[in-house]
Structure 1
């Protein structure tokens, strides 16, 4: 059981670092002055889900879910073990 806890802790630390890097790589959500002039309706604004930014958002979402699952598992093993 101790080996499993060590492996999960290492995975948890790697996920923490990866999640931090992914969040820092993403652009801000504020539209800025471009939204006033209608700049938000560009090609990149409409197809954001297919761009690199959309991919980063999807990866961040799934990594955050995994982060929470591993955190709960680590907490449960700490209580039982």
Structure 2
């Protein structure tokens, strides 16, 4: 069981890395930070499409990574 969880942890880790790398940057330097502030004031609509999907996948994979890490660490300590 511990081996299967370790393999799953590696798969989730690689998936998390790929999803984070696929996301587009939120700002492009100083001009992006100025425009980003204006967009927040004007109430820009939520991200749609691929960006929204990548954001959800990031959250799901991050939570799965944390839970799997704790479970694997516990199993290694008990064993």
Question: TM (normalized to structure 2)?
Answer: 0.79
Question: TM (normalized to structure 1)?
Answer: 0.77
Q: Which residue of structure 1 lines up, in the alignment, with residue 71 of structure 2?
A: 73
Q: CA deviation at 1:34?
A: 7.6
Q: CA deviation at 1:55?
A: 0.9
Structure 1 runs not aligned, ≥5 long: none
Structure 2 runs not aligned, ≥5 long: none
Q: Does 1:21 align with 2:18?
A: yes
CA–CA separation in structure 2 for the residues paired with 1:77 and 1:33: 45
Moved segments of 4+, more than 3 Å? none
Q: Which residue of structure 2 lines up, in the alignment, with residue 35 of structure 1?
A: 35
Q: CA deviation at 1:47?
A: 3.7
Number of corresponding residues: 72
